[in-house]
Amino acid sequence: MEITFFHKNLTKAEEGSFDEYVGTKKEMIENLLKTFPSNATLMRANIEKFDKHDAYQVELSVILPTKQVVAKEASHLITKAVDLAKDRLMVQIKKHISLMRREVKHKSVRERKEVGIKEEVLF
């Protein structure tokens, strides 16, 4: 999986720490994506610093062959924002994979019911 980074209003030190910290979380996300080829997935990591509020907004998106999954979080710490966004992203990926497999392991996925047509004879 390839990662593309975008930074806005960050210092060089903050950019380096963000890139390094997202790199440590890459393996956890790749473990969920074993069903897809490694060259078929792309991850984008965006970060923006808000000077007025002294906060960071992190957006992690994974582009899969079947769907694009996006998670966005804001926090006063870079590491906390990345962790929260990663957790949201992992929940969405698990849900998408269970939908693809037609499993009902995720609590928000409901079991599909087969609807049949009854034949009635009108004589």
Ordered domains of the chain (ranges, CATH): 2-101 (3.30.160.100)
pLDDT tens sequence across 59-116? 999 999 999 999 999 999 999 999 999 999 999 999 898 888 876 655 565 665 665 6
Q: Sign of torsion, CA 84 85 86 89?
A: positive
**Crossing angle of the two packed helices 78-101 and 12-32, in degrees rounded to 10:** 20
The pTM (predicted TM-score) of the whole model is 0.80
Cβ atoms within 10 Å of 86's Cβ, excluding its own: 21
More confident residue, 6 or 35: 6
- The yes-or-no verdict on residue 118 having pLDDT over 80 is no
Given pLDDT bands bounded at 50, 70 and 90, which one contains residue 9?
Answer: very high
Q: Residue 113: its pLDDT value, please?
A: 61
Q: Residue 123: its pLDDT value, please?
A: 55
For residue 50, the number of C-alpha atoms closer than 13 Å in the C-beta half-sphere is 12
pLDDT tens sequence across 19-31? 999 999 999 999 9
Q: Among residues 32, 34, 27, which one has the least CA distance to residue 3? A: 27
